[in-house]
Amino acid sequence: MPVDVLVGLQWGDEGKGKIVDVLAPTYDAVARFQGGPNAGHTLTFDGIKHVLHQVPSGIFHPHILNIVGNGVVLDPIVFRAELQKLTDRGVDWAKNLYISKKAQLILPSHRALDRISEEARGNTKIGSTLKGIGPTYSDKIGRVGLRVSHILLPDFEQRYKEAVAQHAAIAAHNHKELEIESLEAEFFSAVEFLRTLQLIDTEYLLNDLLSQGKRILAEGAQGSLLDIDFGSYPYVTSSSTIAAGACTGLGIAPRHIDKVYGITKAYCTRVGSGPFPTELHDEVGEQIRQAGREFGSTTGRPRRTGWIDLPALRYAIMLNGVTELHLMKADVLDGFTEIQACTHYRTATGESTPQLPDPGELTTITPEYRTLPGWNTDLTALTDAAQLPANLQSYLDFLEQELQVPISIVSVGPDRVSTLHR
């Protein structure tokens, strides 16, 4: 059986966790393939809100294997706290959670370097979540990072000290100190806990599942426009957030990829710095922010809001090979009599283009909008796609025509049951 991949098509926060939770019962395994605790996947069911950061979003289904792949960067402190919350809520995760030995460890000094780097940038800050993601991936590429497998070695503590010494030298270059002493006891305690979990070569597990005809859902974090290669560089994350990243982040061959689910909001948001062509700085943007509760599930920061951006979506759909779209938070636009959709950009030279320009040019373009009628209807009580109001149906038809991909799911509320299949 194939691997299906779920990715965000915007700047993250599209609602991937909810869709994984909805789709998970039809799969045998859910596997996270990149990112770390900078991700915040929110799931709501039975009136309770759950936020996952590193644990795959299939964890609430006891028959599903949940796999943290080699492409993930893992913070033992955050991971232990996350699993404790699941335990407190009665979730028995111990038997169906597996962690790749090849996943990189986030050390307390990585978090310190993240903070020092952002402070040094001044007005050119990336907008990092300060979770140590960038420095950890830097160490991975620099071939000096520590993997989960290293905690099983007798000289792990010495390896840790050597890594921290390197990080301290980097901090000293910026006339700073790491100041991590208060975190180290907690870190080593969390490492002891991590040693008790199922640490394996997950690439073998995943390929064994495929050979048995099992179905796997690869869960991405962040969004395509934050991809290290194709996002709005340098205001991006440090991993490959597109569907291709599932192959390197899990150890599966490209021939196994089948469906690619692309997740997008009915509008657009962004957290942190960087270009955002359709951003709204007025009361409309604030209305969307409040209606959508657009505050980061990991950081709590207010998200920047704007109208849907079709050139950016076309680009993300192309990169990922999206086979079907899932439109999230349609209910957030319930109160609008008119809705705007950016269909093209006007360049600095006056040219109209449907393509996403190089990131360096994004601050020089002007969005060209098409106005569509809003549905001005409360969607949250709907239970069937046949009940969608005519103007929302027209909006969906418009998006499908512009993007040339079918919309198979429409979300009309935060709860698991507020997910309508078309």
39 assigned to a ligand binding site: yes
413 assigned to a ligand binding site: yes
Q: Is 131 an annotated catalytic residue? A: no
Q: Is 167 an annotated catalytic residue? A: no
300 assigned to a ligand binding site: yes
343 assigned to a ligand binding site: no
Write down the catalytic residue from 4, 13, 28, 227. 13
132 assigned to a ligand binding site: no
Q: Which helix (H) or strand (E) holds 168?
A: helix 156-173
Number of other CB atoms surrounding residue 250 within 10 Å: 27
CA 322 to chain centre: 16
16 assigned to a ligand binding site: yes
How far lies 41's CA from each of 79, 157, 177, 299, 326, in Å?
14, 32, 33, 12, 16
155 assigned to a ligand binding site: no
Write down the catalytic residue from 50, 110, 131, 140. 140
Tokens read off for 222: 């962040």
How far lies 239's CA from each of 64, 83, 143, 229, 285, in Å?
26, 24, 15, 9, 29
**234: preceding bond cis by omega (within 30 degrees):** yes
Strand 257-265 with 3-8, pairing: parallel
Look at the block and give the residue holding tokens 């019962």: 25
330 assigned to a ligand binding site: yes
13 assigned to a ligand binding site: yes
Write down the catalytic residue from 41, 131, 167, 344. 41
Which of 399, 328, 330 is CA-nearest to residue 17?
328
222 assigned to a ligand binding site: yes
Q: Is 397 an annotated catalytic residue? A: no
305 assigned to a ligand binding site: no
Q: Which residues belong to the annotated binding site for Mg(2+)?
A: 13, 40
Residues at the binding site for GTP are 12-18, 40-42, 303, 329-331, 411-413
Residues annotated as catalytic (active site), given as ranges = 13, 41, 140
- Which residues are part of a known binding site? 12-18, 38-42, 129, 143, 222, 237, 297-303, 329-331, 411-413
Q: Tell me the binding residues for substrate.
A: 297-303
Q: Which residues are annotated as a binding site for IMP?
A: 13-16, 38-41, 129, 143, 222, 237, 301
